[in-house]
Every structure is written in C-alpha cells, then in structure tokens.
Chain A
Amino acid sequence: MVDLTMVLLAVFAGIALFFAYLAISERNLVRALIYSAVQSSAFAFIFYLLRAPDIVLVYVPISVGIYPAAILFLIRKTKEVEEP
C-alpha cells in the first residue's frame, strides 16, 4: 500500500508545510515571499505525482515566475519589513 508515490507525496507535503510556516512567521516580506515560492514549487511536484501534468504546466510558471514577480513589484511599492 505504501509505495514510492505516497512517500514522495508525504515528503513534498512536509516541505510545503514547513515553508508555509516559515512564510507566515517571517517579518521580512521578501524572505517570506521566497519561502512561499518554495512552498508553491513543492505543490507543483505534488501535482506531478498526482498525474496532473496540465496543472503542473500552469503551476510552474505561476509559482516560480509570475507570483513572486507580482508580489516583489508590490513589496517595492510598500515597506520591506512588516511592522509588529
């Protein structure tokens, strides 16, 4: 029952969870964005393991390119460090 796909799914889900926690707790917005992008990349792998190549093809450019770029442009318009 426990095959390689399941193990890899667990590994990537764990990575995504860890980086999601880091992204939420980080006060520096640029660093938080990078953690969030790593989390999205882990999700892209999960979609690939779940045999959804169509979603992977849209998720990779969105999670690695467009989403970090959009947020970076927006961070430039505000402050880099979140105030407590």
Chain B
Amino acid sequence: MRKFLIAAAVIVIAVLASIAATVGGALGPLFNGVRSLAEFYLLNVFNPHNQTLTAMSPEAVTSIVWDYRGLDTLFETVVFYMAIIGCVSLHRGIELIRKRSEAGLSRIVKTVTKILIPLNIVIAASIALHGHLTPGGGFQAGAAMAVAPIIVIVVFSRFFLLRKGVTKEVALSLRSMGLLGIALVALIPLIAWVTTGSAAYVMQNQVKADSSFSFPAYIGGSLVSGSLIWYNIFEFLAVTFGFTIVFLLLSVDEETVRKVLGGEEHE
C-alpha cells in the first residue's frame, strides 16, 4: 500500500509539473516561432547564393552534425570506437569457432526472418544514402542495420552468421575501413592544401571566405552535398559493424568466456 502511495504521489507531481511547464508556461512559451539560431541554419543549410556559409544540403540536422558541428560528431564517433575496442579487448583470446549447427528457432520464424532481413538492409541503406536529403544519416542507418545481425544471431544462432562470412575479423576490418574513411574525408582538404597551396580547413565541406577548396555538391546531376554523403556512408559502415562485433562477442556463452578470461587458476 505504501509503495502504491509513493508511486501515485510521483505520478501526480510529474503530471502537475508537466502541466505547469507546457500549458502553464513555467518554462516560457513552447512552439513559439523560430529562434534566431534556427533561422540562421534554415536560411543557410541549402543556399547556393551564399556559398561560404552553406552546407548544400536540405537536411538541417545532418548539415549541423557533419558540417557546422563536424568535430563534435567526430569525437562522438571516437567515443563509440573506444567503447567497441573496450568490448573487444575484454573478450580477448576468445575464438569464435565455426561449426555446423542447426540451432535456432522454429522454421516459421526462420522463414519470416529470411523475408524481413533484405527489407531491413534496404531501409538502412536508404536511410544512409538519403541522409543528406531526408531525416536520417550514418548513425541512424547503422543502428537500423545492426538490428539485422542481432536478429540473425537470435533466430539462426551465431554459427550461421559466422558461416556466412561475417566473422569478428571481417567486421573489425570493415569497421576500421569506415573509420579510416571518415578520417580521410576529414583530411582531404589538407591534401588539397598541400598540392594546390590554397588555404583549406580540416573537415571543410564547401568554399569558405578565404579558401577555394570545395567538395563537389553535385555528382552526375544529383545532389550529394559535398562531404556529407561520404561521412554518412563511412559512419554507416563503422556503426553497423561496431554493433555486429559487440553482439558476436556477447553471444558467446558465459562458461567459455570465464574459462578464457579466468586464466589458469580457474581451470
């Protein structure tokens, strides 16, 4: 009874607080027009008439994430990278053996999964490749794509994924390729600076006031928004295979992990 009273009190306080914050106006008016910062981005994210401030992408969020605030996202990617490295080094010495195994859920579930996995891949690829045009982007697409290996591990077992060639080594190298791609796209302006001698900035996308370097905004007539599409594709690779490694390692049963990590005294 006492527990129930506490819960009821918490709910009443939360409801009153949210009414005060929204309808009562305790936090100031919500949904009240466009703020000046938002106005700047809405005006400039796709503005061919103002080449020095535009990101040439109609998607404001991706423009901010990978162009205006690109370094923040770079460091976020590094944090994610370190987390995966931590997981991999915790599971060091564990070999993911490939063996023939018919483990997994029933035939009905397997058939449904076989139909759904290609759809998942198509949706994830479309989120990544349209990340500079519609809501979405590299991390969103990577998270959507990472669901596919998880479902395969749960429905078909880890050995099926390993037999299909998605091993820890393959996933690690594809993820490293994604990260190297991000670093390369960030450093291409530097290469342009060395070769042509005109000023350029790290993670630069379009021309700036004192720099003539620019990624091509259009390729073959279609809008690619300069560096944004490349960042999205490489982030997609890095996130997808980062999650895949974690789930491959997490699916190893605890006895094996303890045996390898415990060392001699536990054997």
Contact = CB atoms under 8 A, between A and B. Distances in A.
Interface in A30-72: 53-54, 56-58, 60-62, 65-66, 69-70
Contacts of B135: 53-54, 56-57
B18 A21 contact: no
A69 B247 contact: yes
Contacts of B151: 65
Q: What DSSP secondary structure best describes chain A's contact surface?
A: helix
B143 interface: yes
A58 B140 contact: yes
B154 A21 contact: no
B266 to A, nearest CB: 16
Contact of A21 (B7, B15, B246, B247): B7
Nearest to A74: B250
B173 interface: no
Contacts of B257: 77
Q: What DSSP secondary structure best describes chain B's contact surface?
A: helix
A66 B140 CA distance: 12
Given A6-B23, A62-B143, A14 B136 contact: no
Nearest to A72: B154
A73 B139 contact: no
Contact of A14 (B3, B15, B140, B143): B15
A1 B14 CA distance: 20
B18 A69 contact: no
B150 A66 contact: yes
Interface residues of A, number: 27
Contacts of A54: 61-62, 135-137, 140
Contacts of A9: 22
Interface of B: 3, 7, 10-11, 14-15, 18, 22-23, 61-62, 127, 135-137, 139-140, 143-144, 146-147, 150-151, 154, 243, 246-247, 250-251, 253-254, 257
19 contacts: A6-B23, A13-B18, A14-B15, A17-B10, A25-B3, A53-B135, A54-B135, A57-B135, A57-B140, A60-B144, A62-B143, A65-B147, A65-B150, A66-B147, A66-B150, A66-B243, A69-B247, A70-B247, A73-B247
Interface of A: 1-2, 6, 9-10, 13-14, 17-18, 21, 25, 53-54, 56-58, 60-62, 65-66, 69-70, 73-74, 76-77
Given A10-B15, A74-B250, 5 more contacts: A13-B18, A17-B10, A54-B62, A57-B140, A66-B146
